[in-house]
Amino acid sequence: MSQSISAPSTGAVVVSTIPLRELAPWALFFGLLGTLVLFFVSADQGAVSIPAGTAIHEWVHDGRHLLGYPCH
Amino acid sequence: MNARAFLVRGLIAGLIAGLATFFVAHQVGEPHVDTAIALEEAGEPAAVVEEHTHSHDDGEEAHTHSHGEDAEVSRSTQRTWGLLTGSLAVGLALGGLVALVSAGLVGRIGRFLPGQTVALVSLLGFVSFALVPFLKYPSTPPAVGSGDTIGDRTALYFGFVAVSLIAAVAATYVALRLRDRIGTYGGTVVGVAGYLVVMVVAGQVFGTVNEIGDFPADVLWYFRRASLITLATMWGVLGVVLTGLVAHLYRQDTAEAERRALAASL
């Protein structure tokens, strides 16, 4: 993969890239946060419970069913 | 164009997608959730039955929570504030993730403009994270699905989602590498075909879940159709809004750069 598209003639579009070094901390932090949020909506207090109980499961119950996650 | 600009737009698009998803799920999906719960409650008396003398309907056994008005969270709350919470949380999370993946791919996919890159990531996200998992493990309404098997079903579902995501990332990478050697057409065909082969094999290897019992087929179909519409709303609105926002940002940046170049040349 090239870093950017070379412009052989005038008028060709050059899209600059975002350096992966700059992107890495955002991607890591939000990747972890996003995964955590998806876990609490999609799976918590079903197969595993953090914390114990059913309050979170009950609260997001309809969303869990309609967004296609395993529920009961 | 930087990470922050992408993430902010992803969160805005995710918020709008979450609201749209709530509205559609509430209007299209909730009637069938209510029907399913009414069927469940009609099938079993309110008293908890510890000894099961018959097992024709797995869904009613070993239920660890109740769907009725005596539940910890009432039905009227579940179908409004609860559904809104879930929709917004998933929308924001997916919006941010799609935005950051797009930020990493901008300028690295052939001649794709930033908006086109976002559209591609959204499409691949919908197919690999929602549509293909749905085809293998379709959503089930309340009253279908036993509390006893929730552990196995959760492991199967997320295992299949993981395989799908990894296969989609690998297929995209292969397609981009091949594009330099055999062209866009060949690279795309090989990438898509590779993903399909992996997922068909995975679909055969992963176990089947069938706990439908004698649940009415029409209610099941209405619920699953509504569930698919809900998922399509989430990804469709997210993709369309984020594509528009990023394309607008790119036009602004380009115009600004041209103005500066013109000023420097004077």
Whether B71 shows a pLDDT value over 80: the answer reads no
Mean pLDDT, rounded, for A39-49: 87
Higher local confidence (pLDDT), B122 or B111: B122
Q: What is the DSSP string of A32-47?
A: HHHHHHHHHHHTBTTT
Tell me the ipTM for this assembly: 0.84
Distance from CA of B197 to the nearest CA of A (A): 23
Confidence of residue B54 (pLDDT cuts 50, 70, 90): very low
B131-156 average pLDDT score: 91
pLDDT at B60 over 90: no
Question: Could you report the per-residue pLDDT of B187-243, keeping only the tens digit for each?
Answer: 999 999 999 999 999 999 999 988 888 899 999 999 999 999 999 999 999 999 999
Region B95-122: mean pLDDT is: 94
Average pLDDT over residues B171-189: 94
Helix, strand and coil content of chain B, in percent to the nearest 5, comes to 75, 0, 25
Give phi and psi for B243, each to the nearest 5.
-60, -45
Interface mutation target, options A6, A29, A62, chain B, most CBs of B under 10 Å: A62
Between residues B77 and A7, the one the model is more confident about: B77
Least confident interval from B35-39, B49-53, B87-91? B49-53
**Phi/psi zone of residue B57: left (φ > 0), alpha (ψ -120 to 50 degrees), beta?**
beta
Q: Residue window 135-194, chain B: list those with CB within 8 Å of chain A.
A: 137-142, 145-147, 150-151, 153-158, 176-177, 180
Does residue B21 have a pLDDT over 60?
yes
> B231 vs A64: CB contact, 8 Å cut-off?
no
B35 interfaces chain A, CB cutoff of 8 Å: no
Residue A48 β-bridge partners? A44
Question: What is the pLDDT averaged over residues B27-42?
Answer: 92
Judge contact between B84 and B22, C-beta under 8 A. yes
Q: How confident is the model at residue B49 (pLDDT cuts 50, 70, 90)?
A: very low
What pLDDT does B148 receive?
Answer: 84
Which residues face B226 on adjacent strands? Answer: none
What chain B residue is nearest to A25 in terms of C-alpha separation? B3
Name chain B contacts of A62, Cβ cutoff 8 Å. 25, 29-30, 33, 78-79, 82-83, 86
What is the per-residue pLDDT for A71?
A: 87
- What's residue A12's pLDDT? 58
Q: Which of B48, B93, B150, B63 is nearest to A49 (CA)?
A: B150
